[in-house]
Amino acid sequence: EVQLVESGGVVVQPGGSLRLSCAASGFTFDDYTMHWVRQAQGKGLEWVSLINRDGGSTYYADSVRGRFTISRDNSKDSLYLQMNSLRTEDTALYYCAKDMWGYGGNSFDYWGQGTLVAVSS
Amino acid sequence: EIVLTQSPATLSLSPGERATLSCRASQSVSSYLAWYQHKPGQAPRLLIYDASNRATGIPARFSGSGSGTDFTLTISSLEPEDFAIYYCQQRSYWPPATFGQGTRLEIK
């Protein structure tokens, strides 16, 4: 059974930093591109970032480029999101999502339950 | 960036009825469109990928159609567990892989 378990969400002040983690199990982690998707309270889903299978290619939404860094450790079946220079508008539930296709076809067939990031003074 | 517009924003129906949800893209996305179901407190669930293909384990009452700019998700006979928010998402032009704003399917 595929499982994705996010952690690391907390309350942080504007301008602060945070690292989210996602522990994956139930599939061959290094065969798949992985994503972060977020949802602000009362809003829809927003794709944030992706990383390819070996970590050599990464992409970001314009809203987070230059502030967030996605990474992965295939030896630990784990995905990360380093979030710097946080803004109030980054407040959201952050989901880790598995790409349906290994190469990064950008459909998301499994999601975690999410971890909540709140940016507030 | 591709903009996806879903309609209606809210759909009120009774169990057993047929639900038809629409998603329109600002430009053609070919057949690269997916549908997700999202219930509060739960992980989103992939229902349909590439416009018309049911994901693993999805009941046959869910079907998708369309291509280009106009897409439809149909639930043939609503079950109580189907009341949720539904999102469409395109993967034709990325980044970013954009989502629609969602349709809330509520019990009438």
* Cβ contact, residue pair A109, B42, below 8 Å: no
CB contact under 8 A, B102 and A95: no
Of B34, B45, B95, the CB nearest to A107: B34
B43 touches chain A (CB under 8 A): yes
- A32–B contact, CB cutoff 8 A: no
SS3 of B36, please? strand
Contact B51, B65 (CB under 8 A): yes
Residues 72-101 of B with CB under 8 A from A: 87, 89, 91, 94-101
The model's pLDDT over A69-84, given as tens digits with 9 standing for 90+, comes to 999 999 999 999 999 9
Q: Does the beta carbon of A27 lie under 8 angstroms from any beta carbon of chain B?
A: no
The per-residue DSSP string of A68-98 comes to EEEEEETTTTEEEEEE-S--GGG-EEEEEEE
Distance of residue B9 Cα from the nearest chain A Cα, in angstroms: 12
**Cα dihedral: B62, B65, B70, B73 (round 10):** -10
Query: Would you write out chain B's pLDDT as a tens digit for each of its 108 residues?
Result: 899 999 999 999 999 999 999 999 999 999 999 999 999 889 999 999 999 999 999 999 999 999 999 999 999 999 999 999 999 999 998 888 999 999 999 999
